[in-house]
């Protein structure tokens, strides 16, 4: 509430970082850029466009940004639900031009980037169908297009979550209530990678997102 923005500008994401941190920025074109937190403008003001700090193409948008943790692995997923796992230490870019990690061809674009935890993936399409399958079925690679994670007749991926099957799959509804589906309750959604899945469970958020 204390932040002010230029007219037409708004908050996309916020996180706590220190000046010694490396910030990784992932774009819809499948590129990673690395920015030292000490290079960001300090104090008050409207900040500086990231497109000026790095050589980012005008037709690309920022998917997400986060503090670099070399011990993690990341799951990259495109709108068409192609995806793969990449060690985070391999996506660090040493130049302003960034590092091409996910290969996407328009109209497809990079859609999600999230740290890998647990042993299973739950993926939901815009058609509100959900599929659950083991993370072991997704290849680990340094660069590429990846493999198909879920099949759609039309539309693309809406949301996804990695989790530990034994602990169950959780989500939050619009009232911030947490629901957990146990391994037994998820049986009808567990299937082979690249299949279509089934309509989301009762009580799943109308937004189609895990919360």
The residue behind tokens 């309509």 is 199
Residues 6+ apart with CB under 8 A from 198: 129, 130, 131, 188, 189
In angstroms, the CA 87 to CA 104 distance is 19
Burial of 142 (0-12, 13-18, 19+ CB in 10 A): exposed
How far, CA to CA in Å, does 56 sit from each of 28, 96, 138, 166? Answer: 11, 8, 29, 41
In angstroms, the CA 104 to CA 136 distance is 23
Per residue, the 3-state secondary structure of 36-57, as one string, reads EHHHCCCCCCCCCCHHHHCCCC
Return the structure tokens found at 185.
Answer: 């309750």
How far, CA to CA in Å, does 188 sit from each of 26, 130, 171, 198? Answer: 34, 10, 18, 8
Classify residue 163 by its DSSP letter.
Answer: E
* Among the four given CATH numbers 3.90.1300.10, 2.30.110.10, 2.120.10.90, 3.30.1600.10, the one describing domain 22-199: 2.120.10.90
Instruction: Give the H/E segment covering residue 129.
Output: strand 129-134
Torsions phi, psi of 133, nearest 5?
Answer: -155, 165
Task: Render pLDDT for 39-55 as a digit per residue (tens, 0 to 9).
Answer: 998 877 888 899 999 99
pLDDT in tens, the chain (211 residues): 677 888 899 899 999 999 999 999 999 999 999 999 999 988 778 888 999 999 999 999 999 999 999 999 999 999 999 999 999 999 999 999 999 999 999 999 999 999 999 999 999 999 999 999 999 999 999 999 999 999 999 999 999 999 999 999 999 988 889 999 999 999 999 999 999 999 999 989 999 999 8
Instruction: Give the H/E segment covering residue 195.
Output: none
Task: Render pLDDT for 87-118 as a digit per residue (tens, 0 to 9).
Answer: 999 999 999 999 999 999 999 999 999 999 99
How far, CA to CA in Å, does 151 sit from each of 28, 85, 131? Answer: 21, 19, 10
φ/ψ bin of 65: left (φ > 0), alpha (ψ from -120 to 50), beta (otherwise): beta
């Amino acid at each position: 509430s204390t932040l002010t923005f230029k007219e037409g500008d708004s908050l996309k994401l916020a996180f706590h970082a220190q000046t010694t941190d490396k910030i990784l920025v992932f774009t819809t074109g499948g590129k990673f850029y690395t920015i030292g937190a000490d290079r960001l403008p300090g104090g008050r003001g409207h900040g500086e466009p990231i497109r000026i700090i790095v050589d980012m193409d005008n037709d690309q948008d920022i998917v997400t940004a986060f503090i670099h943790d070399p011990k993690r692995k990341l799951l990259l997923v495109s709108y068409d639900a192609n995806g793969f796992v990449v060690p985070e230490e391999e996506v660090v870019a040493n130049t302003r031009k960034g590092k091409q990690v996910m290969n996407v061809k328009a109209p497809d674009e990079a859609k999600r980037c999230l740290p890998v935890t647990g042993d299973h993936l739950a993926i939901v399409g815009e058609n509100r169908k959900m599929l659950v399958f083991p993370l072991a079925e997704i290849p680990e690679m340094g660069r590429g297009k990846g493999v198909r994670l879920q099949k759609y007749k039309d539309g693309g991926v809406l949301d996804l979550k990695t989790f530990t099957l034994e602990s169950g799959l959780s989500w939050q509804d619009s009232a911030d209530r947490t629901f957990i589906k146990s391994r037994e309750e998820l049986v009808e959604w567990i299937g082979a990678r690249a299949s279509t899945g089934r309509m989301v469970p009762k009580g799943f958020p109308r937004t189609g997102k895990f919360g």
